[in-house]
Amino acid sequence: MLRRTSRNSLAGLLLAALLAVVGVACSGSDKSASPQGRPASSHCPDDALTCPASGSSPSPSAGASTAVGEATAKPSTSPSATGRATLSASASGASDKPAAKAACASPRACGFPDADTTGPRIPLTHHKTGYKAIRTNGMVIRGWDLAGSLDIYANNVTVIDSKITSDSWWGVNLRPGYSGLRVLHSTITAVPGKGPDNGGVDYAVSNMATSSVEVGWCDVSVFGDALAMGQGNLHDNYVHDLAPFINRGGEWQHTNAVISSGGNTGRLIIRHNTLLNPTSLKEGASGSIGLFADTGVVRNVTVDHNWIAGGAYALYGGDTGATGIKVTDNVFSTQYHRNSGGYGVVAHWNEGGAGNVWSNNRMSDGRPVTPEPSS
Protein backbone atom coordinates (compact mmCIF):
# COMPACT_ATOMS: atom_id res chain seq x y z
CA MET A 1 0.00 0.00 0.00
CA LEU A 2 1.41 3.36 -1.03
CA ARG A 3 1.92 5.96 1.65
CA ARG A 4 0.87 9.47 0.90
CA THR A 5 3.20 12.28 1.99
CA SER A 6 1.55 15.56 2.83
CA ARG A 7 2.70 18.73 1.03
CA ASN A 8 3.90 20.22 4.34
CA SER A 9 5.96 17.11 5.15
CA LEU A 10 7.55 17.09 1.68
CA ALA A 11 8.40 20.78 1.94
CA GLY A 12 10.03 20.16 5.30
CA LEU A 13 12.20 17.38 3.88
CA LEU A 14 13.29 19.54 0.94
CA LEU A 15 14.14 22.45 3.23
CA ALA A 16 16.24 20.23 5.48
CA ALA A 17 18.15 18.82 2.50
CA LEU A 18 18.80 22.30 1.15
CA LEU A 19 20.13 23.52 4.49
CA ALA A 20 22.44 20.52 4.70
CA VAL A 21 23.90 21.23 1.25
CA VAL A 22 24.44 24.91 2.10
CA GLY A 23 26.12 23.96 5.36
CA VAL A 24 28.58 21.65 3.61
CA ALA A 25 29.41 24.27 0.98
CA CYS A 26 30.02 26.97 3.57
CA SER A 27 32.15 24.77 5.77
CA GLY A 28 34.77 24.34 3.04
CA SER A 29 34.94 27.90 1.72
CA ASP A 30 37.42 29.58 4.04
CA LYS A 31 39.57 31.71 1.74
CA SER A 32 40.87 34.16 4.29
CA ALA A 33 44.38 32.74 4.58
CA SER A 34 45.38 32.70 0.92
CA PRO A 35 46.65 35.71 -1.05
CA GLN A 36 45.00 34.27 -4.17
CA GLY A 37 41.63 33.57 -2.53
CA ARG A 38 42.32 29.83 -2.26
CA PRO A 39 42.51 27.67 0.86
CA ALA A 40 46.00 28.14 2.30
CA SER A 41 48.13 25.07 2.95
CA SER A 42 51.80 24.29 3.23
CA HIS A 43 51.23 20.76 1.93
CA CYS A 44 50.16 20.85 -1.71
CA PRO A 45 50.79 17.78 -3.85
CA ASP A 46 53.06 18.63 -6.76
CA ASP A 47 50.35 18.08 -9.36
CA ALA A 48 47.29 19.02 -7.30
CA LEU A 49 44.72 21.31 -8.88
CA THR A 50 43.69 22.52 -5.41
CA CYS A 51 45.38 22.48 -2.02
CA PRO A 52 43.84 20.41 0.80
CA ALA A 53 42.33 22.63 3.48
CA SER A 54 43.67 20.46 6.28
CA GLY A 55 45.69 17.33 6.94
CA SER A 56 48.84 16.11 5.28
CA SER A 57 49.46 15.26 1.65
CA PRO A 58 51.92 12.97 -0.08
CA SER A 59 55.52 14.04 0.03
CA PRO A 60 57.41 14.76 -3.21
CA SER A 61 58.33 11.75 -5.28
CA ALA A 62 61.28 9.62 -4.26
CA GLY A 63 64.59 11.23 -4.98
CA ALA A 64 63.25 14.79 -4.88
CA SER A 65 65.57 17.19 -3.14
CA THR A 66 65.16 20.52 -1.41
CA ALA A 67 68.76 21.51 -1.91
CA VAL A 68 69.54 24.31 -4.34
CA GLY A 69 72.62 24.49 -6.52
CA GLU A 70 73.50 28.10 -7.23
CA ALA A 71 75.76 29.59 -9.86
CA THR A 72 78.26 32.21 -8.78
CA ALA A 73 77.22 34.70 -11.42
CA LYS A 74 74.59 35.43 -14.01
CA PRO A 75 75.15 34.14 -17.53
CA SER A 76 77.10 36.69 -19.50
CA THR A 77 75.25 36.28 -22.76
CA SER A 78 71.62 36.14 -23.77
CA PRO A 79 69.98 33.12 -25.41
CA SER A 80 70.03 33.21 -29.17
CA ALA A 81 67.54 35.70 -30.54
CA THR A 82 64.30 34.37 -31.94
CA GLY A 83 63.55 35.61 -35.45
CA ARG A 84 60.14 37.00 -36.29
CA ALA A 85 57.91 36.49 -39.26
CA THR A 86 57.40 39.59 -41.34
CA LEU A 87 53.95 41.09 -41.15
CA SER A 88 51.56 40.88 -44.05
CA ALA A 89 48.43 42.99 -44.12
CA SER A 90 46.76 40.89 -46.82
CA ALA A 91 44.85 38.40 -44.65
CA SER A 92 42.21 39.87 -42.38
CA GLY A 93 41.21 36.42 -41.13
CA ALA A 94 37.78 37.57 -39.93
CA SER A 95 34.57 36.61 -41.65
CA ASP A 96 31.52 38.84 -42.01
CA LYS A 97 29.17 35.87 -41.97
CA PRO A 98 26.37 35.80 -39.37
CA ALA A 99 27.39 34.79 -35.87
CA ALA A 100 27.56 31.03 -35.36
CA LYS A 101 27.75 31.18 -31.54
CA ALA A 102 26.75 33.50 -28.76
CA ALA A 103 29.02 36.41 -27.93
CA CYS A 104 31.18 36.37 -24.80
CA ALA A 105 32.12 39.48 -22.85
CA SER A 106 35.30 38.42 -21.06
CA PRO A 107 37.59 35.46 -20.35
CA ARG A 108 35.91 34.89 -16.98
CA ALA A 109 32.44 34.93 -18.56
CA CYS A 110 33.53 32.13 -20.89
CA GLY A 111 35.35 30.15 -18.19
CA PHE A 112 38.91 30.99 -19.23
CA PRO A 113 41.81 31.59 -16.80
CA ASP A 114 42.37 34.91 -15.06
CA ALA A 115 44.16 36.26 -12.01
CA ASP A 116 41.81 34.40 -9.65
CA THR A 117 42.50 30.95 -11.11
CA THR A 118 46.26 31.18 -11.63
CA GLY A 119 49.36 31.82 -9.55
CA PRO A 120 50.43 30.48 -6.12
CA ARG A 121 47.85 28.80 -3.91
CA ILE A 122 49.86 29.09 -0.68
CA PRO A 123 51.71 31.87 1.17
CA LEU A 124 55.24 32.47 -0.12
CA THR A 125 57.61 31.68 2.73
CA HIS A 126 61.04 31.30 1.11
CA HIS A 127 62.36 34.72 0.08
CA LYS A 128 65.39 34.57 -2.20
CA THR A 129 67.30 36.87 -4.50
CA GLY A 130 69.59 36.47 -7.47
CA TYR A 131 70.29 34.06 -10.26
CA LYS A 132 69.84 30.39 -9.29
CA ALA A 133 71.26 27.51 -11.31
CA ILE A 134 69.40 24.32 -10.38
CA ARG A 135 71.56 21.19 -10.75
CA THR A 136 69.69 18.66 -8.57
CA ASN A 137 67.55 16.08 -10.36
CA GLY A 138 63.99 15.82 -9.06
CA MET A 139 64.16 19.06 -7.10
CA VAL A 140 60.84 20.62 -6.03
CA ILE A 141 60.82 24.40 -5.65
CA ARG A 142 57.74 25.36 -3.63
CA GLY A 143 56.67 28.55 -1.88
CA TRP A 144 59.59 30.61 -3.21
CA ASP A 145 59.42 34.36 -3.66
CA LEU A 146 62.43 34.86 -5.92
CA ALA A 147 63.72 38.21 -7.11
CA GLY A 148 65.91 36.71 -9.81
CA SER A 149 65.71 33.81 -12.26
CA LEU A 150 65.99 30.02 -12.46
CA ASP A 151 68.35 28.27 -14.89
CA ILE A 152 67.64 24.52 -14.97
CA TYR A 153 70.56 22.12 -15.49
CA ALA A 154 68.73 19.04 -14.15
CA ASN A 155 65.98 16.55 -14.93
CA ASN A 156 62.45 16.41 -13.54
CA VAL A 157 62.52 19.74 -11.72
CA THR A 158 59.18 21.14 -10.51
CA VAL A 159 58.55 24.82 -9.79
CA ILE A 160 55.21 25.12 -8.01
CA ASP A 161 53.27 27.62 -5.90
CA SER A 162 56.05 30.21 -6.28
CA LYS A 163 56.63 33.72 -7.58
CA ILE A 164 59.54 34.74 -9.78
CA THR A 165 60.26 38.40 -10.45
CA SER A 166 63.00 38.15 -13.04
CA ASP A 167 65.98 40.42 -13.51
CA SER A 168 67.54 38.23 -16.20
CA TRP A 169 66.81 37.20 -19.79
CA TRP A 170 64.20 34.73 -18.55
CA GLY A 171 62.17 33.74 -15.53
CA VAL A 172 62.69 29.97 -15.87
CA ASN A 173 64.94 28.38 -18.50
CA LEU A 174 65.51 24.70 -19.32
CA ARG A 175 68.98 24.07 -20.74
CA PRO A 176 69.74 21.68 -23.65
CA GLY A 177 70.09 18.03 -22.72
CA TYR A 178 67.68 18.12 -19.77
CA SER A 179 64.01 17.16 -19.48
CA GLY A 180 60.95 16.90 -17.27
CA LEU A 181 60.58 20.55 -16.24
CA ARG A 182 57.18 21.54 -14.81
CA VAL A 183 56.18 25.08 -13.86
CA LEU A 184 52.81 25.02 -12.09
CA HIS A 185 50.60 27.40 -10.10
CA SER A 186 53.19 30.17 -10.14
CA THR A 187 53.51 33.86 -10.95
CA ILE A 188 56.28 34.82 -13.37
CA THR A 189 56.84 38.50 -13.94
CA ALA A 190 59.49 41.24 -14.03
CA VAL A 191 59.90 44.94 -13.33
CA PRO A 192 59.60 46.94 -16.58
CA GLY A 193 62.77 48.86 -17.31
CA LYS A 194 64.94 46.72 -15.01
CA GLY A 195 65.77 43.83 -17.37
CA PRO A 196 69.10 43.09 -19.10
CA ASP A 197 67.92 43.69 -22.68
CA ASN A 198 68.16 47.47 -22.58
CA GLY A 199 65.71 47.39 -19.69
CA GLY A 200 63.51 44.66 -21.16
CA VAL A 201 63.08 40.99 -20.32
CA ASP A 202 62.67 38.36 -23.01
CA TYR A 203 61.24 35.00 -21.88
CA ALA A 204 59.07 34.05 -18.91
CA VAL A 205 59.57 30.32 -19.53
CA SER A 206 62.15 29.28 -22.12
CA ASN A 207 62.74 25.75 -23.39
CA MET A 208 66.19 25.34 -24.96
CA ALA A 209 65.92 21.54 -24.80
CA THR A 210 64.27 19.09 -27.19
CA SER A 211 61.96 17.68 -24.51
CA SER A 212 58.52 18.87 -23.45
CA VAL A 213 58.02 21.48 -20.72
CA GLU A 214 54.72 21.72 -18.84
CA VAL A 215 53.46 25.15 -17.82
CA GLY A 216 50.08 25.18 -16.09
CA TRP A 217 47.91 27.51 -13.98
CA CYS A 218 50.54 30.28 -14.14
CA ASP A 219 50.07 34.06 -14.08
CA VAL A 220 52.58 35.49 -16.56
CA SER A 221 53.21 39.14 -17.41
CA VAL A 222 55.71 41.76 -18.66
CA PHE A 223 58.04 39.54 -20.78
CA GLY A 224 58.43 40.24 -24.50
CA ASP A 225 58.03 36.58 -25.52
CA ALA A 226 56.27 35.06 -22.54
CA LEU A 227 56.15 31.30 -23.21
CA ALA A 228 58.90 30.39 -25.69
CA MET A 229 59.23 26.77 -26.82
CA GLY A 230 58.87 24.36 -29.70
CA GLN A 231 57.55 21.49 -27.62
CA GLY A 232 55.55 21.61 -24.44
CA ASN A 233 52.17 21.47 -22.73
CA LEU A 234 50.86 24.97 -22.01
CA HIS A 235 47.50 24.87 -20.27
CA ASP A 236 45.28 26.95 -17.99
CA ASN A 237 47.64 29.96 -17.96
CA TYR A 238 46.87 33.67 -17.85
CA VAL A 239 49.34 35.66 -19.97
CA HIS A 240 48.77 39.40 -19.94
CA ASP A 241 50.27 42.90 -19.83
CA LEU A 242 53.29 42.21 -22.02
CA ALA A 243 55.56 45.25 -21.74
CA PRO A 244 57.00 46.66 -24.99
CA PHE A 245 60.61 47.80 -24.99
CA ILE A 246 63.37 48.89 -27.33
CA ASN A 247 66.04 46.18 -27.34
CA ARG A 248 69.82 46.48 -27.41
CA GLY A 249 69.69 46.65 -31.19
CA GLY A 250 67.69 49.86 -30.98
CA GLU A 251 64.46 48.33 -32.31
CA TRP A 252 61.14 47.60 -30.70
CA GLN A 253 61.28 44.03 -29.43
CA HIS A 254 58.49 42.00 -31.01
CA THR A 255 56.08 40.60 -28.43
CA ASN A 256 54.21 37.27 -28.31
CA ALA A 257 52.26 35.61 -25.52
CA VAL A 258 53.35 32.22 -26.92
CA ILE A 259 56.11 31.79 -29.49
CA SER A 260 57.65 28.86 -31.36
CA SER A 261 60.33 29.32 -33.99
CA GLY A 262 59.82 25.99 -35.77
CA GLY A 263 62.11 23.04 -36.28
CA ASN A 264 60.52 21.28 -33.30
CA THR A 265 60.87 17.52 -32.92
CA GLY A 266 58.06 17.08 -30.35
CA ARG A 267 54.49 18.29 -29.94
CA LEU A 268 53.41 21.69 -28.69
CA ILE A 269 50.00 21.79 -26.97
CA ILE A 270 48.41 25.17 -26.22
CA ARG A 271 45.11 24.47 -24.47
CA HIS A 272 42.68 26.48 -22.33
CA ASN A 273 44.79 29.58 -21.80
CA THR A 274 44.01 33.28 -21.76
CA LEU A 275 46.61 34.83 -24.07
CA LEU A 276 46.62 38.63 -24.27
CA ASN A 277 49.03 40.81 -26.21
CA PRO A 278 48.06 44.46 -25.72
CA THR A 279 51.21 45.81 -27.41
CA SER A 280 50.45 48.44 -30.03
CA LEU A 281 51.45 47.99 -33.66
CA LYS A 282 53.92 50.88 -33.33
CA GLU A 283 55.67 49.23 -30.36
CA GLY A 284 56.53 45.82 -31.76
CA ALA A 285 53.31 43.79 -31.53
CA SER A 286 53.72 40.40 -33.18
CA GLY A 287 51.20 37.72 -32.14
CA SER A 288 49.27 36.33 -29.22
CA ILE A 289 50.38 32.96 -30.59
CA GLY A 290 53.34 33.11 -32.97
CA LEU A 291 54.14 29.88 -34.83
CA PHE A 292 57.06 30.98 -36.98
CA ALA A 293 59.20 28.93 -39.37
CA ASP A 294 62.36 30.82 -38.43
CA THR A 295 64.59 27.82 -37.61
CA GLY A 296 62.70 25.08 -39.44
CA VAL A 297 59.30 23.72 -40.41
CA VAL A 298 56.50 24.14 -37.86
CA ARG A 299 54.80 20.82 -37.11
CA ASN A 300 52.55 19.07 -34.59
CA VAL A 301 50.96 21.99 -32.75
CA THR A 302 47.55 21.91 -31.06
CA VAL A 303 45.85 25.23 -30.33
CA ASP A 304 42.61 24.31 -28.59
CA HIS A 305 40.00 26.18 -26.55
CA ASN A 306 41.95 29.37 -25.79
CA TRP A 307 40.92 33.00 -25.33
CA ILE A 308 43.21 34.94 -27.69
CA ALA A 309 43.53 38.69 -28.15
CA GLY A 310 45.97 41.21 -29.58
CA GLY A 311 49.14 41.31 -31.62
CA ALA A 312 49.61 42.34 -35.22
CA TYR A 313 47.81 39.09 -36.02
CA ALA A 314 46.34 37.18 -33.13
CA LEU A 315 47.72 33.91 -34.57
CA TYR A 316 50.60 33.22 -36.93
CA GLY A 317 49.77 29.77 -38.29
CA GLY A 318 53.13 28.26 -39.25
CA ASP A 319 53.47 29.34 -42.90
CA THR A 320 54.18 27.20 -45.96
CA GLY A 321 55.23 23.66 -45.11
CA ALA A 322 53.55 23.60 -41.69
CA THR A 323 51.89 20.26 -40.92
CA GLY A 324 49.87 18.78 -38.09
CA ILE A 325 48.59 22.18 -36.93
CA LYS A 326 45.19 21.85 -35.24
CA VAL A 327 43.36 25.06 -34.34
CA THR A 328 40.02 24.25 -32.73
CA ASP A 329 37.34 25.80 -30.50
CA ASN A 330 39.18 29.06 -29.80
CA VAL A 331 37.67 32.45 -28.99
CA PHE A 332 39.41 35.40 -30.65
CA SER A 333 38.65 38.43 -28.52
CA THR A 334 37.86 41.92 -29.81
CA GLN A 335 39.07 43.66 -26.65
CA TYR A 336 42.03 45.33 -28.41
CA HIS A 337 41.04 45.21 -32.09
CA ARG A 338 37.84 44.46 -33.97
CA ASN A 339 39.50 41.49 -35.69
CA SER A 340 41.43 40.42 -32.59
CA GLY A 341 44.82 41.39 -34.03
CA GLY A 342 45.61 44.83 -35.41
CA TYR A 343 45.76 43.46 -38.97
CA GLY A 344 43.47 40.49 -38.48
CA VAL A 345 42.90 37.17 -36.78
CA VAL A 346 45.32 34.84 -38.54
CA ALA A 347 48.18 34.97 -41.03
CA HIS A 348 50.38 32.38 -42.75
CA TRP A 349 47.90 29.52 -42.40
CA ASN A 350 48.86 26.52 -44.57
CA GLU A 351 45.41 25.27 -45.48
CA GLY A 352 46.67 22.35 -47.57
CA GLY A 353 49.24 21.06 -45.08
CA ALA A 354 48.94 17.42 -44.05
CA GLY A 355 46.98 17.11 -40.81
CA ASN A 356 46.18 20.81 -40.57
CA VAL A 357 42.72 21.45 -39.08
CA TRP A 358 40.81 24.69 -38.57
CA SER A 359 37.50 24.09 -36.84
CA ASN A 360 34.88 25.83 -34.72
CA ASN A 361 36.84 29.04 -34.04
CA ARG A 362 34.95 32.29 -33.49
CA MET A 363 35.27 35.90 -32.45
CA SER A 364 34.18 36.91 -28.95
CA ASP A 365 31.29 38.80 -30.55
CA GLY A 366 30.09 35.58 -32.18
CA ARG A 367 31.44 35.95 -35.73
CA PRO A 368 32.92 32.77 -37.17
CA VAL A 369 36.56 32.92 -38.27
CA THR A 370 37.79 31.51 -41.58
CA PRO A 371 41.50 31.91 -42.36
CA GLU A 372 42.91 32.88 -45.67
CA PRO A 373 45.62 30.51 -46.95
CA SER A 374 49.30 31.37 -46.68
CA SER A 375 50.53 33.41 -49.62
Cα separation of 111 and 62, whole Å? Answer: 36
Confidence class for position 202, pLDDT limits 50, 70, 90: confident
Burial class of 262 by CB neighbour count within 10 A (0 to 12, 13 to 18, 19+): buried
Residue 219 has pLDDT above 80, yes or no: yes
* Maximum C-alpha span of the chain: 90
pLDDT of residue 375: 52
Per DSSP, the three-state class of 212 is coil
Q: Using alpha carbons only, what angle is made at residue 226 by residues 338 and 307, rounded to the nearest 5 degrees?
A: 35
Using one digit for the tens of pLDDT, what is the confidence trace for 71-112? 334 443 444 333 333 333 333 334 333 333 567 889 999 899
How many other CB atoms are found less than 10 A from the CB of residue 195? 23
Q: What is the mean pLDDT of residues 179-193?
A: 94
pLDDT of residue 373: 58
More confident residue, 346 or 4: 346
Confidence class for position 315, pLDDT limits 50, 70, 90: very high
More confident residue, 141 or 7: 141
pLDDT of residue 186: 98
Using one digit for the tens of pLDDT, what is the confidence trace for 250-284? 877 778 999 999 988 899 999 999 999 988 778 77
Q: What is the mean pLDDT of residues 157-169?
A: 95
